[in-house]
């Protein structure tokens, strides 16, 4: 499970929340209920990252572990194109 916290680049840095905020746990529990066996560390890896864009949102990607490298590479390519 990959979680991207996207923040509006015009916001001050103090507007960023900690990765362990309680709202995120509630969202993960709902995703687990419908799409996963369990979110225990034995069955689920989590990757969280923060980036800046023109508007704020949270992007959650659920995938098989073997798809993570390709997902991360795609994000790195997109980031290099932005710069």
Question: What does the pLDDT look like over 21-72, one tens digit per residue?
Answer: 777 788 888 998 988 888 887 888 889 888 899 999 989 999 999 999 999 9
70 phi-psi bin (left φ>0, alpha ψ -120 to 50, beta other)? alpha
Domain span holding position 63: 2-82
Question: Number of structural domains, the chain?
Answer: 1
71: part of which helix (H) or strand (E)?
A: helix 68-82
pLDDT digits (tens, 9 = 90+) for 4-14: 989 999 998 88
Whether the model clears a pTM of 0.85, i.e. scores above it, the answer is no
């Amino acid at each position: 499970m990959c979680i991207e916290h996207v923040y509006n680049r015009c916001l001050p840095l103090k507007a960023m929340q900690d990765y362990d905020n309680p709202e995120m746990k509630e969202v993960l529990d709902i995703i687990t209920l419908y799409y996963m066996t369990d979110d225990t560390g034995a069955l689920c890896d989590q990757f969280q990252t923060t980036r800046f864009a023109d508007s704020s949102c949270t992007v959650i990607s659920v995938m098989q572990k073997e798809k993570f490298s390709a997902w991360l590479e795609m994000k790195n390519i997109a980031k290099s194109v932005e710069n």
